[in-house]
Every structure is written in structure tokens, then in C-alpha cells.
Structure 1
Amino acid sequence: MVEFSFLQPDRPAAFKDKFVTKVNECLTSYSDGARGEVGVLGLPLSKTSISLSQSSEAPNSIRACLSAFTTFSGKKDTDYKNIKVLDFGDVQVHPTDMEESIERIRISVREMLTRNACNRYILLGGDHGISYPSIRAFGEHYGKIGVIQWDAHHDVRNLEDGGRTNGTPFRSLMEGGHLKGDNLIQIGIRDFANAKVYHEYTKEKGVTIYTIDDIECTGIEPIIKKELDRLSNFVDIIYLSVDMDVVDQAFAPGCPAIGPGGITSRELLSSISAAASHQKVKAMDLVEIDPSKDFRDMTSRLAAAAMLRFMYTV
């Protein structure tokens, strides 16, 4: 006779402390009529990447890494375990048609927003190509949109050499009339990472650019706060687009376009906290993580930590 069984069908063999709540435990699958503070949607598209990438696997990788964090903030002496996060799952992209996939993402983001289920949203890429349909959908729903883009690159490549890719989202948005150049802020642009013609293009469009040198001189949080104050006078909502290759390769080795000289993980997290506290900030995307290139999930863990800074701002 077996006195006690340690068999656990369909359950992981994980230690559970009854006093600890992990962030992944707060994710609830969306159902009709549900309400939550934050909505999460996966956009697993990597076919628009100009380099080989498995960033389509990132939404699941980032979600899994939420189990590494608790809901308690010692800094704020606050437990956020009652903050409800609705998970809308992943958009089913087309297996071969990139334009169809882009349109599916736009439609899906619009559908999520029309449910009016959450106050703010997190979009998990995917490569940076997902930002074009996502930002477009937010603009269609809310009105005039402003964007703060963390990135080593301008992402305004021409559309003739390959169509819409992860290097073209902001050119597509500006030329499509979905985003004014004056309402785009680029933070962390790295030296020797862009072509002169694209640098000149952003200047012509009125894009505000802060390089790594600017961050070193001024600090990243004062830049964020300054641009939030300015943008809020001209737009209805503000969208944060975080390309993880803005972070130095030492902290984010799982990016397809890693490079030295980027911002630190602490600079990324502190700047997202500063931005997320603004009332007009409604959404954030996290893009350009390839789990197959990562080391011990370092980049996905950083993205998960960024999610916490966005979700738990009060």
C-alpha cells in the first residue's frame, strides 16, 4: 500500500513557497467580458527580419521568464499580486505571406483594443517589423500617437530592397501618414550602426534623436521625462517601442543585431519606469529577441523585467 504519492500528473516539479507569488501566476487567459489592468499580446513574427532570426519564439520565452520574478517590490514596499494581467495569446501569422501577416497583426491589435478590457497593453514581438501594424492600430483606435523608440538603429530603411522588413517600420509609419516625424523620439542610436542617408532622412522628417553619447552626457531619465512632457502636448497617446538591441551585448546577448557600446540593463529598466508612469503612455512593445541565440535566457529575462516596470508603476 502506497502511503503517500509524489506523482503529479500535468504539474511541474517546482518548489512552491506559500508566501511567494510569482508574476506568471498573475496572467489570466482573456475571455469575453474580462477586465484587467494590463493586456498582453504575442506577435510571433520573425519572417520580416533581414537577418536569420527565431524571434517568433520570444513571446513564449518572455512569458516563461516571468516565473523568475515575484510580485513584491521592496523598493516601493508594495505587493502587486492583485494586479490582473490578461493574456490575449498569440496572433496566428501566415506561414509564408509577410504582408498578410502584417495585416493580421493590425487587425488583431485593433480587435484587442475594441474589447476595452484593459487600461494599458504590452506587445511581445517578434522582430521590429511588428511595430508598424501595431502602432498603426493604436493610432487608428486612439487618435494622434507619439512614439518613444529605444533602438541602436533608425529603422527607416528603403522599401525597394526587400519590402517591409524589421528595418522599415518607422519609414512605413511616417510615409503612410500614421506617425508624424515630429512625434517620434529615438533613444540610444549607436555610432557606426546606420547609413548616412537614413540619418539624413530622420532629420528631414523632424525625428528627435538621442545618441548613446547624448545619454552619457545627460542621463537617460532626464531625456525621457523631457520628451514625455513635450510629446504629451501634441498627441493623444504615447507608445513605447523597445528594440532590445539598444542594450549593450553584455546584457542582451540574444539579439540578432548585438553590438558593444549600448545602454546598460539598469538604464533600460529605469527609463521604462520613468516613461510608464506618464498617464498618456498606453502601450509598449518588446522586440528583437532570438531565444536560440540567448545565453541562460538573459535577454528574455531582461524583457520580462521590463514588463514588470511597465505593469507595476503605481
Structure 2
Amino acid sequence: MKHYTNPNATIWHGRVSNKYLYLHEKVRCTPLSEISEPTKRSIALLGYACDEGVKRNQGRVGAAKSPEVIKNSLGKFPNHLANTVLLYDAGTIVCIDRDMEATQKELSKAVTMLLEKKQFPIVLGGGHDMAYGHYHGIQNYLDSKKEGQTIGIINFDAHFDLRKPTDNNNSGTPFYQIAKESEEEGIDFNYLCLGIRKDANDRALFQTAKELDVKYVLSDTFQIQYLDEINTWINAFIKNVDKVYVTIDLDGFSSAYAPGVSAPSPMGFTPQIVVECLKTIIGSGKLISMDVAEMNPKYDIDGQTAKLAASLLHHIIHTIY
């Protein structure tokens, strides 16, 4: 694969126990093509080293360096996974010659391949343009099963990412692209955004969200004291779909927690509300795949954002299995 690199085992290091007490001791660095269908429950981490979409969207570039940084941070966390659960580093999809579209296609193929091999894929990025490729990887897998299953997208984000492409697609257009393609194919576009900020989306974007029947919770409501109401909305959304794809844009968090992102803001949400919502989503049994977007090591402070991403991943992998 032109847009693919094998996993780098040297990034997985930390305190040594020789008893698999840490995730760097648990992980198996295995090229994508060598992962086989497991007899055990299995998780595969896949990088998306591309920030061309961020550059096109006039954001701060640097997110292409994030997959290895997040993996390195995660490796130092304790391992509480059962011996019956496998954890793979499946390598990284990389952007070559600024060809974001080709990178998205390769990501789509890789996600489909992992799902076919009975993995739970977690993609680490990279610009939020990866959502377009990730979604199509899930869709291609479900279409191959010919069961007509519907996908619900839940996006933890300050931004709708529903911009209408002008010169080209970018990190701000993936869900608009998905919506328009869904319309052409005659299928429902099921999209829930949690943490939307009025100071981060113009009137045209709110109008587009209305036209596309996007469900969303504004940032002033996306707070822990409203958790019961938020969970009611999440459960109502999940009830109407067969599978759920979760994408977490780290720039949705307050810069107090996530300074190393493409578009930082002090007015974002907290990790606590995201963790509680993830418990609800995972508890539905419909989560099929997920990703973390917009980590930018170039602007991180003391590894805070990388540790936030790793903490979220640690919570997720220990909750689903």
C-alpha cells in the first residue's frame, strides 16, 4: 500500500514490569496485512498521518505527527485488559504529495479490512477529514453484508464540520460530503454533534445543519449537570440507527485540557462529560468503530493533549472489552 507504513515498535516503551502491567507490554505491532481474524476479542489502533485537510481549512498544521505521539503516551498507561483481549498497533495511513483524497481512500480500505477481520478499529489522527474515509470504510463493510444497516455518527466537537466545499474538500467538510452523498444514495444522514459552540460556527453553518436535520447540543448545555438530559438525547438518537460511529475532535475540549490542537479555545467542554457520554454510547452495544482527531503535537504543552487522547482511549478500550 503506497499510503501505508508498518507499525513502529520503538514508540511503545515505558516502565517495565515483565508482567504485562503496562499497555506497551500488551500491544502487538502487526502490519495491517498480517492481522488475522481472532478467536479472541480484539482492538486495532490505526494512525492517520495527514493534516492536508487542516491546511486547506486554514488551520494550524502539525496533526500529521499525532498518531505516534498518542500511541507513545498510551503505551505508558496501565494494562487492565484481560488476557483474552488482543491489542494491535496496525500501523499508519500516511499522506503523500498532499493527496488527501487518496489518503482518505486508503483509510477507508483499511477500516473495512479491520472490520472484516473482526477488529474494533480506533483511528488516531490527524485532521478531521479522516472522518470521511473512516465513515466510508464502515459503510463499505456494512454494505458487503447486504443487511441494509444504518450508521449514526456521533461527533464530540465544537464545530459542525459541515462547510460546503469551494475549491476543494478539507477538514471542515467531511460531514457535508457524507450528507450530500447520502442524499444521492437515498439513505438517511444520521448525525449528532455534542458540544457545538456558537462562537465557532457562523449562521450559514447553523442553517446547513437545520437543512440537513442535524441533531446537536450546544456547548452551554453540554455540561455534566445536564448529563441526564444529554443521555436521553443520545439514547433517542442511537435507538434509530443500527450501528454507531464515534468521532472525537480534540479541539472541542477547552484548551485548559487540550492546548495541542488545530483550533484551540478556552471555551470548550470538559473530559468528564465526554467520558460519561461514552459510557452511554458503549453501553448501547452499537458502537462499531471510533477515532480521535486534530491532536497537534507541535502546540502541545507538557504532553497534556496527548495524555488526554490516551486517557480517552484507555477508558474506551477498557469499557468495550
TM-score bracket for this pair, using the shorter chain length: 0.7 to 0.9
* Equivalent position to 1:198, from 185, 205, 208: 205
What is the rounded CA distance, in whole Å, between the counterparts of 1:109 and 1:59 in structure 2?
Answer: 16
Q: How far is the alpha carbon of 1:34 from its aligned partner?
A: 4.8
Preserved contact between residue 74 and residue 307 of structure 2 (Cα < 8 Å): yes
Structure 2 distance, partners of 1:101, 1:221, is: 39
Please list, as runs of the form range in 1=range in 2, the aligned pairs for 1:51-66 lying within 5 A after superposition: 51-66=59-74
With normalisation by structure 2, the TM-score equals 0.84
Matched, 1:234 2:236: no
Gaps of 5+ in 1: 1-9, 73-78
Q: Name whichever of 251-260 and 89-98 sits farther off.
A: 89-98
RMSD: 2.4
How many residue pairs are counted as aligned between the two chains? 294
- Cα distance in 2 for partners of 1:80, 1:144 equals 31
Which has a greater percent of helix? 2
Matched ranges for 1:99-248 at <5 A: 99-114=101-116, 116-118=117-119, 120-142=120-142, 143-160=149-166, 162-177=167-182, 180-181=188-189, 183-216=190-223, 219-220=226-227, 222-223=229-230, 225-248=231-254
**What TM-score, normalized by structure 1, do the two folds share?**
0.86
Letter in 1 for 2:44: G
User: What code does the residue aligned with 2:53 have?
Assistant: T
Unaligned runs of 5+ in 2: 1-9, 143-148
Q: How many Å separate the matches in 2 of 1:257 and 1:169?
A: 17
Aligned CA distance change for structure 1 residues 92 and 215 (closer, same or farther; 3 Å): closer
Identity percentage of aligned residues: 23
Once superposed, which parts of structure 1, at least 4 consecutive aligned residues long, lie more than 6 Å away? 10-13
Evaluate the alpha carbon distance shift between residue 89 and residue 19 of structure 1 in structure 2; reply closer, same or farther with a 3 A threshold: closer
Which residue in 2 is equivalent to 1:33? 36
How far has the Cα of 1:180 moved from its partner? 3.3
Deviations 1:251-286 (A, max 9, x none): 000011010221112222232233223200111110
Contact (CA 8 Å) 2:156, 2:248: kept in 1 or not? Answer: yes
Aligned partner of residue 75 in structure 2, secondary structure:
helix
Q: Does 1:282 align with 2:284?
A: no
On the 8 A contact 1:157/1:171 being kept in 2, the answer is: yes
Give the distance between the partners of 2:236 and 2:20, measured in 1 at CA. 40
Larger Rg over CA atoms: 1
Q: CA deviation at 1:216?
A: 3.5
Alpha-carbon distance in 2 for matches of 1:97, 1:121: 23
